[in-house]
Amino acid sequence: MGKMWAGRTSGKTDKIADDFNSSIRFDSRMYRQDITGSMAHAAMLGSRGIISKEDADTLIDGLQMVLDDIESGALAVDMTCEDIHMFVEQELTNRLGDVGKKLHTARSRNDQVALDIRMYLREEIDTIEALTKDVLEALCDQADTHKASIMPGYTHLQRAQPITFGHHLMAYAMMLLRDLDRLADCRKRMNQSPIGCCALAGTTYDTDREMEAKSLQFDGICLNSLDGVSDRDFCVELMSAISILMMHMSRLSEEIILWSSWEFRFVELSDAYTTGSSIMPQKKNSDMAELIRGKTGRVYGDLMGLLTTLKGLPLAYNKDMQEDKEGVFDAVDTVKMCLQVLAPMIATMTVHTENMKRAAQQGFINATDLADYLVKKGLPFRSAYKISGQLVAKCIQDHTVLEELPLHVYKAYSDLFDEDLYEEIALETCVSKRISQGGTSVPSVEAQIAYVRKELTV
């Protein structure tokens, strides 16, 4: 089959050049968007009298049949075509003859490709949003179960203050909620129709871009024809939002890997989300969590790739822009897989609350609360801090913990100490007293869960 654009040139290209030039391997996934876009275009041409009403109807019916045949498997996409836009038009023309050739009036592949990617990606955003919500639900459910399960909170990966596991999980929920916001924001800017920008300058035909935009569920149209066909900032934005989402998932995955180690034993992943070692029989590896962490780097690469591709391009379309798709599709496919695996991994993990509690008891993480006890009895904070530190040193020396140090030892450091100190430094007390908004107390975690769950319903 000769090239549809043969004319100015013979269209006889080298085989290797054809393979190099072609994008059908990766853009055929947009066949539905391409065909739907063409149907809206045909309808607009007919309604404006640019082609006859009958021709428009013939084109629409023909396009519907091509779509049905691809979807039923009766028609395979011809991988020797340059791209999906050429394939659909070629197939239509094969079926309809000359009428098929009228479809490409008042449009260009440049606006077609910009249209198809936007339509394809906005659907993908909807899917990513739904999958992110699944992760959020799993986080909220585990947080609810463990809103009172005490674990050490860390800074510098050193035990710092007691928190609850629920509180820790809800930190990730807040991050993912912002990710949802970023995706929605990106979708809003993406949802402007470029169709009708044509090659670059608009067209001499009396088209109705608003009509096309509306019938394809866009919020409006790109107001500058050069911009409409030249920018791929919406792909960059989407990949940025996905990169941030991946970063959040990667940090959580890192913690899950750490918590699953024998050194921590805070959680145990379900067998369904782990693998064994081919040589070491005792191993249970957190491969899925590691892959989420690993794939994050690859998604960052997709983002950097497109940013770099676009940075030196003069307006308007340049073939470099064909490089947009593989990266953005890869980022979208990757994040969807990661979200799909993360949600059930969180939902099915076993939490070893006793190990978490034990770790919290061993790190003197109630030393701040001990100092606060003395402050409440009238000692200045710095003096209280010093006594509390000395008592920690004493515990380390005696291989014990603050909770178990006898009262007479306490009294040797300050006669402000009394029996009630034990209640005051109990880990449960330390947690329940952190009542500030957003703190780790149970009512605060409950409020966070309620907030996120409410956001998930809108």
For 329, residues 6+ apart whose C-beta sits below 8 A from its C-beta are 26, 29
Contact string 369-408 vs ligand ARG (x = CB under 6 A): ----------------------------------------
Whole-angstrom CA distances from 293 to 95, 100, 333 are: 49, 49, 15
For residue 94, the one-letter residue type is N
Catalytic: which of 156, 278, 408, 436? Answer: 156
> Does the active-site annotation cover 277?
yes
Kindly tell me which residue out of 33, 38, 110, 296 binds ligand ARG, with binding defined by CB under 6 A. Answer: 110
Token pair in block for residue 354? 């006793």
How far apart are CB 256 and ligand ARG at their closest, in Å?
Answer: 39
Which has the closest alpha carbon to 267: 250, 286, 282, 283?
A: 286
Q: What residues numbered 299-318 form the site for ligand ARG, per CB under 6 A?
A: 317
**What are the DSSP E strand ranges found in 168-286?**
192-193, 220-221, 267-268
Kindly tell me which residue out of 55, 83, 89, 330 binds ligand ARG, with binding defined by CB under 6 A. Answer: 83
How far apart are CB 24 and ligand ARG at their closest, in Å?
Answer: 8
Residue in this structure with the two tokens 């030393």, named with its chain if needed: 367
For residue 214, the one-letter residue type is K
Kindly determine how many residues on this chain lie close enough to bind ligand ARG according to the rule CB under 6 A.
10
DSSP 97-119: GGGGGGTTTT--HHHHHHHHHHH
Candidates 54-62, 109-117, 160-168, 231-239: pick the segment binding ligand ARG (CB under 6 A): 109-117
CA 11, 15, 199, 29 torsion-angle sign: positive
Q: Which CB atom, from 174 or from 313, has the smaller least distance to ligand ARG?
A: 313
Q: What residues numbered 21-60 form the site for ligand ARG, per CB under 6 A?
A: 23, 27
How far apart are CB 85 and ligand ARG at their closest, in Å?
Answer: 6
**Burial class for 1, CB neighbours closer than 10 Å (0-12, 13-18, 19+):** exposed
Q: Which CB atom, from 198 or from 221, has the smaller least distance to ligand ARG?
A: 198
Q: 153 forms bridges with which residues in the sheet?
A: 161
**Is 109 a binder of ligand ARG (CB under 6 A)?**
yes
**Is 321 a binder of ligand ARG (CB under 6 A)?**
yes
In the three-class reduction of DSSP (H, G, I as helix; E, B as strand; rest coil), residue 138 is classed as helix
Candidates 106-114, 129-137, 333-341, 446-454: pick the segment binding ligand ARG (CB under 6 A): 106-114
**Is 209 a binder of ligand ARG (CB under 6 A)?**
no
Q: Which CB atom, from 85 or from 147, has the smaller least distance to ligand ARG?
A: 85
Candidates 105-113, 138-146, 294-302, 424-432: pick the segment binding ligand ARG (CB under 6 A): 105-113
How far apart are CB 218 and ligand ARG at their closest, in Å?
Answer: 20
**What are the DSSP E strand ranges found in 44-167?**
150-155, 158-164
Q: Which CB atom, from 319 or from 408, has the smaller least distance to ligand ARG?
A: 319
How far apart are CB 17 and ligand ARG at their closest, in Å?
Answer: 13
Q: Euclidean distance between the first and final Cα of the chain, in Å?
A: 51
Q: Which CB atom, from 321 or from 425, has the smaller least distance to ligand ARG?
A: 321
How far apart are CB 260 and ligand ARG at their closest, in Å?
Answer: 43
How far apart are CB 193 and ligand ARG at their closest, in Å?
Answer: 17
How far apart are CB 9 and ligand ARG at their closest, in Å?
Answer: 13
CA 323, 326, 330, 333 torsion-angle sign: positive
> Does the active-site annotation cover 408?
no
Cα–Cα distance for residue pair 383/389, rounded to 1 Å: 10
How far apart are CB 359 and ligand ARG at their closest, in Å?
Answer: 54
**Burial class for 307, CB neighbours closer than 10 Å (0-12, 13-18, 19+):** middle
CA 310, 312, 317, 322 torsion-angle sign: negative
Catalytic: which of 52, 261, 270, 277? Answer: 277
Question: Are the C-beta atoms of 316 and 232 separated by less than 8 Å?
Answer: no
Q: Which CB atom, from 27 or from 330, has the smaller least distance to ligand ARG?
A: 27
Q: Which CB atom, from 229 or from 431, has the smaller least distance to ligand ARG?
A: 229
Token pair in block for residue 299? 């998604």
Which has the closest alpha carbon to 120: 130, 109, 112, 132?
A: 112
Candidates 96-104, 319-327, 391-399, 409-417: pick the segment binding ligand ARG (CB under 6 A): 319-327
At 239, phi and psi to the nearest 5?
Answer: -65, -30
Q: Which CB atom, from 211 or from 313, has the smaller least distance to ligand ARG?
A: 313
Cα–Cα distance for residue pair 78/288, rounded to 1 Å: 36
Q: Which CB atom, from 317 or from 385, has the smaller least distance to ligand ARG?
A: 317
Which residues of the chain form contacts with ligand ARG (CB under 6 A)?
A: 23, 27, 83, 109-110, 113, 317, 319, 321-322
Please give the positions annotated as active site: 156, 277
